[in-house]
Structure 1
């Protein structure tokens, strides 16, 4: 039985529309979104994402990618990006370290960047690409904060959320 999605236990919030040219809901990730390391040789490229229909009172966004199937007991955070200004409604593929889009938090690989799929051999893992509409312009969380701290603050300020779930396995 697969692990629950991270949002199954959080307070329910309205949804909005999230689309991607690179990731399809229910689809399989391409090599571009696979980690380059830990026995994998992917492109490690963040996907293009676009969103619309979020609440008008949105003051900023956060973008996260989470693997609930990682054999850790706490899942695995692949990307945390917050303080994305409310006027930004699309991210191109390949957001890099230092791009002035928002604060890139530390993922569970230990990098302040997008970290692609990198599951151990076995069953495919699910990757939840989420955009969170927030009620504050800035979370006030430092880039080196643990993923759980960033997630706590994102959850506390989320007024709406949209997500896509894709899989990848070796």
Structure 2
């Protein structure tokens, strides 16, 4: 299983457009090679480098999505609606939405983690990352990861 984006390479820098220094829209994502029996997909985007990569203290959650239809092939991003059935959970800003990179100091890593599940999770309305991870236990068929980085531009 593979997770890709048309706007940044694995390990590459996220364009400013997808951060707090731009319009802060979600980047487009594509997936392929899902295992047989995949009923739904879940996505978690988080930053383990908060607040300072030299002294990380917590993992900051930027996006949570549950019940994505596998046949969608990806997310359009750019502020467009999720594929039918997909629902956004709560990020660490307590919003059911994409919250783009906005690192206070240094270059942070942003992990886009896609999970192929053998079921749907309709009981989760707006799950947090922890609630989603708990509900997924025993249902993950495969996982793919895409990592991008971002550092705020220097003040002009």
Runs (4 or more) in structure 1 with deviation over 4 Å come to: 95-99
Q: Which residue of 2 aligns with 1:47?
A: 27
Distance 2:118 2:64 in 1: 17
Deviations 1:70-117 (A, max 9, x none): 137330110001101222211112245677451100101121011100
**TM-score normalised per structure 1:** 0.78
Deviates more, 1:49-58 or 1:97-106: 97-106
**TM-score normalised per structure 2:** 0.85
Q: Which residue of 2 aligns with 1:58?
A: 38
Partner residue of 1:124 out of 96, 101, 107: 107
Q: Which residue of 1 aligns with 2:7?
A: 22
Distance 2:150 2:103 in 1: 8
Q: Which residue of 2 aligns with 1:3?
A: none
Give the direction of change, closer, same or farther, for the CA distance of 1:29–1:147 in structure 2 (3 Å limit). same
Whether 1:110 aligns to 2:94 is yes
2:149 alignment partner, SS class: strand
Aligned-pair distance for 1:57?
0.8
Query: Is the CA contact (8 Å cut-off) linking 2:47 and 2:59 kept in structure 1?
Result: yes
Deviates more, 1:23-32 or 1:87-96: 87-96
Aligned-pair distance for 1:124?
0.5
Unmatched segments (≥5 aa) in structure 2? none
Deviations 1:97-144 (A, max 9, x none): 6774511001011210111001112x211000121101112252121x
Give the direction of change, closer, same or farther, for the CA distance of 1:98–1:17 in structure 2 (3 Å limit). closer
Aligned-pair distance for 1:155?
4.7
When the two chains are superposed, the root-mean-square deviation of aligned CA atoms in Å is 2.0
Query: Is the CA contact (8 Å cut-off) linking 1:97 and 1:113 kept in structure 2?
Result: no
Distance 2:146 2:82 in 1: 25
Number of corresponding residues: 148
Unmatched segments (≥5 aa) in structure 1? 1-15, 36-40
1:160 alignment partner, SS class: strand
Q: Which residue of 2 aligns with 1:153?
A: 135
